[in-house]
């Protein structure tokens, strides 16, 4: 038998020292202060019903910090409460417990009261987005739009076309800066095809409010609608939309001459061609770029030739080759990564209550948190950190253990990290301070 290792006795004692395991959150908190988050929340959210109630900014700020630190449920507010010293830095003397937070979410989303809290959160998020867009140096944007499914085994949740219960928020983001600039929380049984024109118009209005524009648009087949295409055409927007392969599209694909199919270099099973198509209610015809892939998955595939087709409708000019159109359209994959970051990394893939209107408030606070993380990374972190996800940021920056000391009416944060980590943190804080001194 191998030698048994002796286990050291470890004594555990309680301390009254003000400690934190998240000392690296300080620059993020300073960034929130520079963005004026508390002011915006006080401006746009309904005030507390009594003098003893929490200010609305306390509810939202608590959830933002909880999401950023990795919390995903209302019960995780208990873990946040342990960070007493960190909360003091953020001006949160006390945070709501999970029951109080749940009641507040319901009040803010209550349809009978006009969902004033949900609407106020949209105004606050719009204000944050406008500030980032003013500073991002981008003249015009590409808008990616799609619905995303969130499974939720709640009593009031509806079954989606995926045959699962949950919700189907419609999301829109800017490819160039990664911000979600529109979110519409929907029941699971709402068609992903509904309301695209309204979402696009809200995004257009937000861009124009800072003297910028939506110049390009990408979406999947749920957006393959005449009303949206006509709206985009009328606004002079260049667009690509995955075509719904209805009978009309299939028919036009079948009529493409064999000589028009061009092989994709390096892949003999894939070829590309294009044709012209129109929908019954569209004002103009448009290009239909088609990729076909030979099927080789059956025993007879060596004898019988069959293809799978993928078609993209577009109004990009002819100087955009079919290959370039498809390549650009496939950049929508970045949007899928944005959605993954929102649902998995922030944590809004979990819904805390049985009421959809309360979950809508929770979801919108999650969207605000995600945008603040993206903006913080873009505006304050060095170039080498731009690929970091939120979990990476937690690991490499936020999770710095330390002690918070009050000395001569000043707060001192003593961190148990390397000299290099201290230098990195100081650099981030300096960039944050400079941003808002000159912004």
* Dihedral sign from CA coordinates of 336, 340, 343, 346: negative
Q: Are strands 180-184 and 170-174 parallel, antiparallel or unpaired?
A: antiparallel
What contacts 416, CB < 8 A, 6 or more positions away? 400, 401, 402
Interval 84-126: pLDDT, tens: 888 877 777 788 999 999 999 999 999 999 999 999 999 999 9
Q: Is the pLDDT of residue 82 over 90?
A: no
Interval 33-56: pLDDT, tens: 999 999 999 999 998 766 667 889
pLDDT value of position 51: 60
Q: Is the pLDDT of residue 268 over 80?
A: yes
The CATH number of 136-342 is 3.90.350.10
Average pLDDT over the chain, rounded to an integer: 91
Domain ranges of the chain: 19-115+352-438, 136-342
pLDDT value of position 88: 77
Rg (CA), the chain: 26
With CA atoms as reference, report the closest residue to 56 among 99, 128, 108.
108
What are 33's two structure tokens?
Answer: 């202060």
Q: What mean pLDDT is predicted for residues 52-62?
A: 88
Phi, psi of 418 (to 5 degrees): -75, 165
Q: What mean pLDDT is predicted for residues 279-290?
A: 94
Q: Please return the burial class of 116, using the count of CB atoms within 10 Å of its CB with bins 0-12, 13-18 and 19+.
A: middle
* Side-chain-facing half-sphere of 46: CA atoms under 13 Å: 17
pLDDT value of position 439: 57
Rounded to two decimals, the pTM is 0.93
Strand stretches in 150-282, DSSP E: 150-151, 158-159, 165-167, 170-174, 180-184, 213-219, 238-242, 262-264, 267-277
Q: Report the distance separating Cα 22 and Cα 86, nearest Å.
A: 8
pLDDT value of position 12: 85
Helices within 235-300 (DSSP H only): 247-254
User: From its phi and psi, is residue 313 left (phi > 0), alpha (psi between -120 and 50) or beta?
Assistant: beta
Q: Report the distance separating Cα 248 and Cα 124, nearest Å.
A: 44
Q: Report the distance separating Cα 115 and Cα 108, nearest Å.
A: 6
Are the C-beta atoms of 115 and 357 separated by less than 8 Å?
yes
Are the C-beta atoms of 223 and 196 separated by less than 8 Å?
yes
């Amino acid at each position: 038998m191998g030698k048994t290792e002796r286990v050291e006795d470890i004594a555990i004692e309680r301390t009254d020292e003000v400690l934190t395991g998240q000392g690296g959150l300080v620059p993020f908190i300073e960034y929130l202060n520079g963005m004026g988050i508390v002011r915006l929340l006080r401006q746009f959210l309904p005030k507390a019903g009594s003098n003893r109630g929490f200010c609305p900014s306390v509810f939202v700020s608590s959830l933002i910090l909880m999401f950023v630190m990795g919390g995903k449920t209302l019960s995780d507010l208990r873990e946040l409460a342990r960070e007493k010293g960190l909360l003091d830095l953020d001006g949160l003397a006390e945070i709501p417990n999970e029951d109080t937070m749940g009641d507040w979410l319901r009040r803010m989303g209550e349809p009978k009261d006009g969902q004033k809290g949900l609407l106020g959160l949209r105004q606050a998020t719009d204000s944050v987005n406008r500030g980032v867009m003013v500073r991002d140096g981008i003249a015009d944007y590409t808008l990616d739009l799609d619905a995303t499914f969130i499974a939720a085994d709640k009593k009031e949740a509806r079954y989606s076309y995926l045959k699962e219960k949950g919700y189907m928020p419609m999301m829109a983001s800017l490819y160039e800066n990664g911000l979600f600039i529109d979110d519409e929380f929907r029941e699971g049984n709402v068609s992903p095809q509904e309301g695209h024109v309204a979402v696009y118009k809200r995004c257009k209005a937000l861009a124009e409010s800072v003297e910028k524009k939506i110049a390009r648009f990408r979406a999947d087949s749920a957006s393959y609608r005449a009303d949206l295409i006509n709206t985009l055409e009328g606004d002079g927007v260049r667009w690509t939309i995955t075509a719904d392969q209805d009978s009309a599209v299939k028919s036009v694909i079948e009529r493409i001459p064999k000589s028009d199919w061009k092989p994709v270099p390096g892949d003999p099973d894939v070829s590309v061609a294009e044709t012209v198509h129109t929908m019954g209610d569209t004002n103009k015809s448009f290009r239909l770029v088609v990729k076909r892939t030979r099927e080789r998955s059956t025993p007879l595939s060596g004898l019988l030739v069959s293809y799978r087709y993928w078609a993209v409708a577009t109004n990009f000019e002819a100087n955009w080759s079919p290959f370039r159109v498809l390549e650009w359209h496939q950049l929508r994959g970045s949007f899928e990564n944005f959605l993954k970051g929102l649902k998995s990394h922030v944590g809004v893939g979990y819904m805390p209550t049985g009421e959809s209107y309360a979950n809508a408030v929770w979801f919108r606070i999650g969207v605000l948190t995600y945008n603040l993380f993206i903006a913080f990374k873009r505006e304050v972190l060095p170039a080498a950190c731009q690929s970091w996800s939120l979990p990476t940021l937690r690991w490499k920056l936020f999770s710095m253990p330390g002690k918070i000391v009050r000395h001569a009416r000043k707060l001192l944060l003593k961190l148990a990290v390397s000299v290099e980590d201290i230098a990195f943190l100081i650099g981030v804080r300096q960039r944050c301070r400079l941003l808002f001194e000159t912004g």
